[in-house]
Amino acid sequence: MAELTAWLDAGAGVSGDMLLGACVDAGAPLDRIQEALHGLGLDPPITVTSDVVRRGGQRATKVTVDYAPGGPARSLADIRILLAGAALPAGVAERASATFDRLAAAESRVHGVGVEDVHFHEVGALDSIADIVGTLTALATLGVTRVVCSPIALGAGTVETEHGPLSVPGPAVTELLRGSPATGFGGPEDRELATPTGVALALTVATEFGPMPALNVTGIGVGAGTADPPGRANVCRLVLGTTPGAGVLPGAEPMSVIETNVDDLDPRLWEPTLAALLGAGAADAWLSPIQMKKGRPAHTLHVLAPSSAIGRLAEAVFTQTSSIGLRISTTERVALTRDASTVEIAGFEISVKRAYLGGRLINAEPEFADVLSCATALGLAPRDVLRRAQLLATIAPERSD
């Protein structure tokens, strides 16, 4: 089954109830969400209902959370205990705890207290617990495996809190965004558009941030906020889809590309440089000949790698070459399933790399150094040994993956 991607459009803001409403509108069953909330073991339990509403002329789903008023303030430890003992779908308790950990860290920096001393106030209320657990349950029920989040509209002006008026974006929201890969922007109107719960959820579920990726759209959910201001739809959207070609090709994985132009490196150093980069975690590294200013011949070094390896690979580029600056961009890679094996020709073993598409062998490439050694020893033409090795390598069972 193709992996399902969700693009979270937070260009008009995001809150916990808006995101939950978008999930329900996209097809997440409300009864599965209600079952998860009952699994928290609260007495009386939290209940949720949904209604179709209009916001700025758009149809949307508004989810309302009902719970008994009052109750004790909850610390991070209290919420962790509540989630650890809950009967929730696989992975929901862990991701919910991670969301509250984000909120607690932000609140602790805002108030200058230890994380374990944070009492959540608004974000610890039962409706926020419901929004977080409900949204994570809904995404799991929908089968979403990848979430990309747009730049987040934060709003402007002031908002009233139990501590008095605060500027928008509020301090907890800006602390949540600090150091994260997410992008936030002020406006487009003077009101709070992104809540701490909504931002914390977005940061927890999203693995990528940016515009809508290439998708074959399979579903759309629109979640409504409580207010209906004139001239603007107070909603967030969830666009569901699969990567084009995902039914045939393996899923695309996010990658980064490091590039730099070098015109003053001894060309004999390129071979050990490429080897060092591959040894440091690069998926691939290669050179392109270029001509720089004043007609100088040069090379562009390209390094393809997972984002987690960017730091050490950038360091390797600086230490192995004369580069003093890098360009880093994001891309995607589709890689076939591969394995390594050997074939035997007249007692000589030749290593072979094989690639599969949908379990079907589509490429077999012998190691040329082994081919050359075999051909030299047997007095044969290398091309004849190469063809024989390729033929032997294709006589292999197909893979089930």
Per-residue DSSP letters for 19-55? HHHHHHHTT--HHHHHHHHHTT--SSPPEEEEEEEEE
| Residue-level pLDDT at 309 | 87
CA-atom Rg of the chain in angstroms = 27
pTM (2 d.p.): 0.64
d(CA 279, CA 283): 9
If you average pLDDT over residues 254-262, what whole number do you get? Answer: 93
Q: Give exposure, 319-335, as e/b (b: 16+ Cβ within 10 Å).
A: ebbebeeeeeeeeeeee
| Domain spans in the chain, listed from the N-terminal domain onward | 4-242, 253-333, 337-394
Q: Which amino acid is at 106?
A: A
User: Does the pLDDT of residue 122 top 50, yes or no?
Assistant: no
pLDDT tens, position by position, 298-357: 999 999 998 888 989 999 999 999 999 999 998 888 888 888 889 999 999 999 998 888
The mean of the pLDDT values for the chain is 90
If you average pLDDT over residues 161-187, what whole number do you get? Answer: 90
Alpha-helical segments (H) within 258-354: 270-279, 310-320
pLDDT band, residue 117 (cuts 50/70/90): confident
pLDDT band, residue 96 (cuts 50/70/90): very high
User: Does the pLDDT of residue 165 top 90, yes or no?
Assistant: no
User: Does the pLDDT of residue 245 top 70, yes or no?
Assistant: no
pLDDT band, residue 380 (cuts 50/70/90): very high
User: Contact, 336 vs 359, CB < 8 A?
Assistant: no
- Pick the closest to residue 1 from 219, 215, 247, 241 (CA basis): 247
User: Contact, 118 vs 78, CB < 8 A?
Assistant: no
If you average pLDDT over residues 97-119, what whole number do you get? Answer: 88
User: Does the pLDDT of residue 247 top 60, yes or no?
Assistant: no
Look up the CATH architecture of domain 253-333.
Answer: 2-Layer Sandwich (3.30)
